[in-house]
């Protein structure tokens, strides 16, 4: 189900991972692991916590994303606001246990009709981020 209003779009990506929800949860909530697959951050898994994601794609250029933890249910749901460059959206990770590991659903909702470039960029970006997350999860514990 898409949680975006009718005039808004959402990037939704589903992945079946061969890892238990606890391991996936650690990778999406521990700052040093988030930094490996997403961006440098000052995240803490606390409801209402403000934090920033930072990326330096090239020298002299820094991307800063302001976020706030909106929902947290350990090993199941993590949701936070994502505010950057005029985009006000919500990122939600939902983990569902499966017989072989975890089904991960990532949704970034809130793209307006005039934000096509941001929508396409987010879809490409999240696809790459999740690819890197899977590589990290595949490492031995």
Specify the higher pLDDT residue, 85 or 30.
Answer: 30
Residue 3 falls inside a structural domain: no
Confidence bin at 4 (pLDDT 50/70/90): very low
Residue 118 falls inside a structural domain: yes
Residue 127 falls inside a structural domain: yes
Q: Concatenated DSSP letters for 46-77?
A: -TT-EEEEEEEEETTEEEEEEEEEEEEETTTE
* CB-based burial, 100-117: b 16+ in 10 Å, e otherwise: ebbbbebbbbbbbeebee
Residue 73 falls inside a structural domain: yes
Instruction: Compute the distance between CA of residue 64 and CA of residue 80 in angstroms, rounded to an integer.
Output: 15
Number of domains in the chain: 1
Confidence bin at 65 (pLDDT 50/70/90): very high
Residue 116 falls inside a structural domain: yes
Q: Give the CATH number of the domain where residue 17 resides.
A: 3.30.530.20
pLDDT digits (tens, 9 = 90+) for 69-86: 999 999 999 999 999 988
Residue 4 falls inside a structural domain: no
Domain that holds residue 34: 9-137
Could you tell me the two tokens for 134? 């899977």
Measured on CA atoms in the order 51, 13, 10, 84, is the torsion positive or negative? Answer: positive
Instruction: Please tell me the total number of residues recorded for the chain in this structure.
Output: 141
């Amino acid at each position: 189900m898409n949680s975006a209003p009718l005039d808004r779009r959402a990037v939704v990506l589903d992945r079946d991972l061969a890892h238990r929800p606890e391991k996936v949860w650690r990778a999406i909530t521990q700052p040093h692991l988030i930094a490996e697959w997403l961006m440098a951050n000052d995240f803490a898994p606390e409801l209402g916590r403000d934090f920033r994601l930072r990326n330096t794609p090239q020298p002299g250029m820094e991307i800063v994303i302001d976020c706030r933890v909106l929902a947290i249910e350990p090993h199941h749901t993590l949701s936070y606001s994502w505010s950057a460059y005029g985009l006000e959206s919500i990122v939600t990770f939902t983990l569902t246990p499966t017989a072989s590991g975890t089904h991960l659903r990532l949704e970034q909702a809130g793209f307006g009709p005039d934000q096509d470039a941001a929508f396409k960029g987010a879809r490409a970006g999240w696809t790459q981020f999740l690819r890197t997350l899977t590589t990290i999860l595949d490492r031995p514990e």
